[in-house]
């Protein structure tokens, strides 16, 4: 007996939404992504792809494309904030592959998003842009879209969600490696690819190469001073430099190159009691149900895992009457793991 083909609506075309779409489409189901933006793309800076993500990307046949625009860190280095003295060093190249069987990579978010979007299109996923969701009918189910007809599907997956505040913010910056090598202090950061992590009082800095070594990604985490209800805004570069004025001279020289930056409030979610609706026709995925702080580099990785698990379960579907069971099992398989990651990342706040 042939297996049923379900129509799955996914709300959100970010990394999590695309990863879920790929996993479900690979299982043979029809997928439509509903996205508020009028153009497909991803803003931001660098992102880390740990081995638990690269393992899934390999299974999807995407790892070669990902690696072509990624950088592999040789080491993970913890440094003193005062003078940059090395406190600890872990060799990453053999460790990640030997321990987990897959590489640890650094990639620009836009490149990552583009590759996932291309694969989604190849698999026949439809992306409906310029669609603002106003409400969801969980029983039908149907997605109500501003100024458009309701969108009906067999199940709806929400990949956009509310997040709570943490008390930290991050400056997110990308500079050209060619600008760094003209300065003696930060030159070694380009010549020796590594995750460099400066540990300071109530703050830290994480830096690594992108674009095969052509760009350098900088994330500076420090106490939040953004206005209430504002989650991102253009930043005062001098304010940023002043905050890190007593840090390692290499980092200060690096920040002197910066031409512009923004502040981003770091956000995470409290554990939800349930991810799915009792109707068995709606579930949450990724940041919508387990937004996590960036301190373990597992936010996008957890969403990719979510999509892979949901796709695997959808592949086993023998009858549409089993959809409710699929969503229950999906939540049962994922909730404990993602809760552990969220709590572990929160415990590492500055």
What's the full length of the chain, in residues? 350
User: How many of the other CB atoms lie within 10 Å of CB of 280?
Assistant: 19
Q: Which of 221, 237, 229 is nearest to 293 (CA)?
A: 221
pTM of the entire structure? 0.92
Per-residue pLDDT, averaged over 144-153, amounts to: 97
Q: Tens digit of pLDDT for each residue in 252-303?
A: 999 999 999 999 988 888 889 999 999 999 999 999 999 998 889 999 999 9
Evaluate the omega torsion of the peptide bond into residue 58 and state whether it is cis, within 30 degrees of 0.
no
Q: Give residue 160's pLDDT band: very low, low, confident or very high (50, 70, 90).
A: confident
Collapsing DSSP states into helix, strand and coil, what is residue 129? coil
The predicted model gives 118-143 an average pLDDT of 97
Reported as a single tens digit per residue, the pLDDT across 211-222 is 888 999 999 999
């Amino acid at each position: 007996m042939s297996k049923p083909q379900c129509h799955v609506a996914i709300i959100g075309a970010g990394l999590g939404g695309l990863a879920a779409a790929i996993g479900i489409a690979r299982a043979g189901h029809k997928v439509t992504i509903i996205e508020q933006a009028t153009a497909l793309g991803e803003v931001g800076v660098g992102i880390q792809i740990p081995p638990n993500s690269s393992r899934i990307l390999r299974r999807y046949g995407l790892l070669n494309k990902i690696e072509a625009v990624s950088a592999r860190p040789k080491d993970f280095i913890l440094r003193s904030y005062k003078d940059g003295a090395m406190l600890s060093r872990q060799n990453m190249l053999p460790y990640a592959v030997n321990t987990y069987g897959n590489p640890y990579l650094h990639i620009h978010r836009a490149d990552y998003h583009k590759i996932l979007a291309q694969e989604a299109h190849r698999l026949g996923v439809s992306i409906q842009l310029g669609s603002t969701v106003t409400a969801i009918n969980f029983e039908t189910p149907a997605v109500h879209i501003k100024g458009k007809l309701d969108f009906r599907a067999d199940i709806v997956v929400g990949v956009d969600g509310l997040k709570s505040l943490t008390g930290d913010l991050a400056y997110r910056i990308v500079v050209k490696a060619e600008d760094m090598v003209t300065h003696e202090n930060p030159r070694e950061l380009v010549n020796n690819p590594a995750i460099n992590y400066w540990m300071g009082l109530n703050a830290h800095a994480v830096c690594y190469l992108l674009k095969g070594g052509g760009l350098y990604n900088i994330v500076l985490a420090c106490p939040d001073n953004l206005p209430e209800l504002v989650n991102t805004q253009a930043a005062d570069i001098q304010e940023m430099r002043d905050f890190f004025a007593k840090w390692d001279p290499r980092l200060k020289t690096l920040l002197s190159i910066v031409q512009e930056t923004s502040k981003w409030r770091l956000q995470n979610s409290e554990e939800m009691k349930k991810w799915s609706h009792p109707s068995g026709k709606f579930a949450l995925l990724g940041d919508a149900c387990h937004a996590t702080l960036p301190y373990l580099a597992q936010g996008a990785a957890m969403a990719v895992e979510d999509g892979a698990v949901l796709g695997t379960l959808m592949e086993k579907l023998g009858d549409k009457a089993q959809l409710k069971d699929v969503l229950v099992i999906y939540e049962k398989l994922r909730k404990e793991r993602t809760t552990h990651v969220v709590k572990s990342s929160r415990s590492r706040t500055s």
